[in-house]
């Protein structure tokens, strides 16, 4: 009996123990669910019980430095659906038919989305007002009996934004664009995306187990926060000057691999313009900008077509001024000049002799002028862009000092510029940087840099030896115009002394006035700079990059510019003949637009145009007195006693000794035809225009001599009918430049 009681007690104990352990386990599980898994389960519960829609924030506006809008967002709408609500309403076919028609989408793709086993699908984003209103009309459809019904149950319209670029192609490689999710994909849209995109809002509504709306109303609206507005350093007007002239140069010189140009404010590093040509339409960035490439793509199929398309898009979006590397050629001679002057291994008047070639170790390296330049000073050597002079000077600088300055001028590092994809450039390993490499580097070959690095290095010469960091963004502002953040301009480092910088500027100004950069000369503006013509690898393939880098005014630089034309295939390819005149056109417009006052030399003042006296209404007897000491001639047509008209009109500027035609009666004389003087020399152009009864005006350097230059352009164009005495303005390009 006692054993029975003992066994009963044991069983009871074990049962109690089991229940106790189960209770502890259950309690532990509850604690685990409540405190460990609680947050995750709470999120899942909310997801099951609510429907969450995202409201895109309005992306910040992008302005140029003067407040012109370069990019902005406008309110549009997004079409989304609840497939479960559509299934419950059994209206999938009608919804698919309606949405595919109104939104111009493939019906099958729409049908697949609206019949998915999900509670939320986006059909189309960035829907304009007209199609959105058409959809809305079906959502409150009034039948013949006046009853309003929702024929698109399960379809929703919500706020969305769409990016617009008012200037289309302008500054496309700088501004960039956004994707379908409003995310920046290129340019400053990508670099400053975290500031521009803002914070999205939300609409949270209750739903049942089927994923459809609850019979009671619960909705929470969280407002989106607009992105900050970005003010760039770009000047829309200067950007236009650059792009217009790049496009013309590419056409005129048959440039095969595109062109690039940077215009920078010398003292601050502000990028006033940056362009790569060809550009692309920011409002349609996924369409190829080349009809030829589009035709090639259309002929392909499958993966091959996809790869071709993606490769061509990447090429089209590539910012040549920042991403591409190239051999700078003779534009680098300005840097070698500054090195040599700083190290005091050369002076302006040091004597050299060029035979057309220079022996370096076992190699004979030629000058661009195969016959040689003969005896010349260092100044003349830079003016002539003489390779043997620079190889000699490079040897004086030495390998270690050359590499020291190469790094100091910023070529061994990125500039830190705020655009994506800046290239990292490679130089010779010091162990392999021998006398031959030093010789070729001294005149800008056998290494590669980016255009952005070179213009940054030129800023040290322009700024008294201090190099400035290039800057693309000025400030961020809110919608009320308050400044949120300022992007300060920064100095990088002191590279050379003020004295060296001043001497280098003086030399580079002389290169434009007297040397191979004469086609960049602008009367009154003291342009300084250097041309470059670098042969692309492999050598001997007939492919070149023509370039020019310079600044103005030379004595106190305000603006620096760099321009390159990649693979010109026209009649000439040399930087002095095609890059320099293109640079001149851009800088001429830019300097005048910026209000920089011209500084005319005595020689320029002597050749400046003279104002034409206004003699209309004067008697013939008084004409001679009006033209006395004017420096101009006149010719009277007709036998009347009073001047009734004149060509050119009073106040017009004419070169000295030009002829003004005066009429004493209304003339019925026929107009004269403007002769074609393109490619003519100075004397020939003057003879043909004068013989036609017209006046010749030379744009730019009026001291052009026969044999030095030919007419590159004329206005009015050949064949135009104009009155006798009309001014024909011609522009000469020097032909004896490199």
Check: CB of residue 581 under 8 Å from CB of residue 733. yes
Strand-pairing partners, residue 184, are 178
Beta strands in 542-674 (DSSP E): 544-552, 559-566, 610-611, 633-637, 645-647, 653-654, 659-663, 672-673
Pairing of strands 62-63, 229-232: parallel
> Which residue has tokens 């619960």?
218
CA-wise closest residue to 718 among 679, 682, 681, 662: 679
733 membership: H or E segment, kind and range: strand 727-734
- Regions of the chain where pLDDT drops below 70: 1-7, 9, 37-56, 201-221, 667-670, 700-703, 705-706
> Which residue has tokens 């503006």?
525
Report the C-alpha gap between 328 and 535 in whole angstroms. Answer: 10
DSSP, residue by residue, 111-151? HHHHTSSSS-EEEEEEE-HHHHHHHHHHHTEE-TTS-EE-T
CA-wise closest residue to 258 among 319, 340, 217: 319
Which residues form the catalytic set?
Answer: 330
Tokens of 112: 């697949």
> Which residue has tokens 């914070």?
199
Residues in the chain: 738
Question: What local confidence, expressed as pLDDT, does residue 699 receive?
Answer: 77
Report the C-alpha gap between 125 and 108 in whole angstroms. Answer: 18
| CB count in 10 Å sphere of residue 632 | 20
Alpha-carbon dihedral angle through residues 733, 524, 277, 423, given to the nearest 10 degrees: 110
Check: CB of residue 166 under 8 Å from CB of residue 149. no
CA-wise closest residue to 76 among 134, 136, 131: 131
Tokens of 197: 């995109």
Question: What local confidence, expressed as pLDDT, does residue 465 receive?
Answer: 97
Report the C-alpha gap between 71 and 189 in whole angstroms. Answer: 9
Taking the alpha carbons of 207, 212, 213, 215 in that order, is the dihedral positive or negative?
negative
Tokens of 735: 């032909």
399-408 vs 435-442: helix axis angle to the nearest 10?
A: 40
> Which residue has tokens 């603006």?
559
Report the C-alpha gap between 459 and 560 in whole angstroms. Answer: 7
Tokens of 375: 């005896």
> Which residue has tokens 């403007």?
674
pTM: 0.84
Report the C-alpha gap between 279 and 317 in whole angstroms. Answer: 8
Report the C-alpha gap between 390 and 393 in whole angstroms. Answer: 5
Strand-pairing partners, residue 156, are 80
| CB count in 10 Å sphere of residue 130 | 8
Digit-coded pLDDT (tens) for 237-249: 999 999 999 999 9
Q: What is each CA distance from 282 to 167, 171, 198, 287, in whole angstroms?
A: 9, 9, 21, 10
**Distant-in-sequence contacts of 714-720, Cβ < 8 A, 24+ apart:** 714/674, 714/676, 714/677, 714/678, 716/674, 717/674, 718/674, 718/675, 718/676, 718/677, 718/678, 719/673, 719/674, 719/676, 720/673, 720/674
């Amino acid at each position: 009996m006692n054993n029975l009681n003992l066994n009963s007690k044991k069983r009871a104990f074990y049962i109690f123990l089991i229940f106790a352990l189960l209770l502890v386990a259950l309690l532990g599980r509850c604690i685990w669910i409540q405190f460990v898994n609680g947050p995750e389960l709470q999120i899942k519960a909310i997801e099951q019980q609510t429907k969450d829609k995202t409201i895109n924030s309005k992306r910040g506006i992008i302005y140029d430095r003067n407040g012109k809008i370069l990019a902005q967002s406008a309110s549009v709408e997004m079409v989304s659906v609840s497939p479960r609500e559509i299934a419950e309403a059994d209206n999938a076919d009608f919804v698919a038919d309606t949405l595919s028609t109104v939104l111009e989408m493939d019906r099958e793709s729409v049908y697949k989305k609206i019949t998915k086993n999900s509670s939320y699908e986006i059909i189309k984003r960035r829907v304009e007002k007209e199609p959105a209103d058409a959809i809305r009309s079906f959502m409150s459809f009034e039948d013949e009996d006046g009853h309003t019904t929702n024929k698109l149950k399960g379809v929703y319209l919500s706020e969305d934004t769409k990016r617009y670029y008012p200037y289309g192609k302008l500054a496309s490689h700088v501004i960039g664009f956004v994707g379908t999710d409003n995310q920046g994909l290129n340019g400053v849209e990508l670099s400053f995306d975290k500031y521009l995109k803002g914070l999205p809002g939300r609409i949270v509504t209750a739903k049942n187990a089927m994923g459809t709306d609850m019979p009671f109303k619960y909705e929470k609206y969280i407002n989106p926060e607009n992105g900050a507005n970005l003010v760039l350093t770009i000047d829309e007007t200067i950007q236009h000057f650059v792009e217009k002239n790049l496009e013309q140069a590419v056409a005129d010189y048959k440039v095969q691999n595109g062109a690039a140009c940077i215009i920078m404010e010398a003292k601050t590093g502000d990028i006033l313009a940056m362009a790569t040509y060809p550009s692309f339409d920011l409002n349609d960035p996924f369409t190829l900008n080349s009809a030829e490439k589009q035709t090639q793509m259309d002929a392909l199929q499958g993966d091959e077509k996809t790869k071709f398309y993606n490769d061509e898009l990447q090429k089209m979006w590539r910012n040549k001024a920042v991403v591409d590397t190239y051999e700078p050629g003779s534009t680098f001679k300005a840097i070698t000049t500054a090195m040599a002057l700083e190290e005091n291994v050369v002076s302006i008047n040091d004597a050299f002799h060029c035979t057309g070639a220079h022996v370096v170790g076992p190699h004979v390296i030629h000058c661009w002028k195969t016959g040689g330049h003969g005896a010349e000073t260092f100044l003349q050597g830079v003016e002539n862009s003489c390779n043997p002079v620079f190889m000699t000077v490079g040897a004086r600088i030495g390998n270690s000092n050359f590499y020291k300055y190469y790094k100091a001028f910023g070529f061994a590092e990125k500039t830190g510029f705020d655009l994506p994809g800046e290239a990292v450039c490679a130089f010779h390993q010091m162990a392999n940087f021998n006398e031959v490499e030093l010789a070729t580097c001294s005149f800008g070959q056998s290494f590669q840099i980016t255009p952005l690095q070179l213009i940054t290095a030129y800023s040290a010469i322009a700024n008294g030896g201090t190099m400035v960091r290039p800057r693309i963004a000025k400030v961020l502002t809110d919608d009320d115009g308050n400044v949120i953040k300022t992007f300060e301009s920064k100095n990088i480092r002191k590279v050379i002394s003020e004295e060296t910088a001043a001497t280098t500027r003086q030399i580079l100004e002389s290169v434009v006035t007297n040397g191979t950069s004469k086609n960049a000369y602008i009367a009154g503006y003291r342009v300084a700079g250097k041309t470059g013509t670098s042969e692309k690898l492999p050598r001997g393939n007939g492919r070149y990059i023509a370039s020019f880098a310079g600044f103005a005014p030379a004595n106190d630089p305000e603006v620096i510019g760099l321009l390159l034309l990649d693979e010109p295939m026209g009649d000439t390819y040399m930087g002095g003949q095609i890059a320099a005149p293109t640079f001149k056109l851009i800088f001429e417009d830019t300097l005048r637009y910026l209000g920089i006052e011209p500084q005319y030399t005595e020689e320029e003042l002597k050749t400046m145009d003279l104002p034409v006296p206004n003699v209309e209404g004067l008697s013939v007897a008084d004409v001679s007195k009006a033209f006395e000491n004017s420096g101009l001639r006149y010719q009277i047509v007709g036998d009347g006693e009073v001047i009734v008209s004149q060509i050119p009109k009073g106040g017009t500027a004419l070169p000295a000794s030009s002829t003004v035609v005066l009429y004493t009666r209304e003339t019925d004389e026929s107009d004269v035809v403007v002769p074609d003087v393109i490619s003519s020399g100075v004397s020939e152009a003057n003879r043909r225009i004068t013989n036609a009864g017209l006046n010749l005006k030379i744009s730019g350097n009026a001291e052009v001599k026969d044999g030095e230059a030919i007419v590159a352009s004329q206005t009015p164009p050949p064949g135009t009918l104009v009155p006798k005495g009309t001014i024909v303005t011609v522009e000469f390009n020097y032909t004896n430049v490199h």
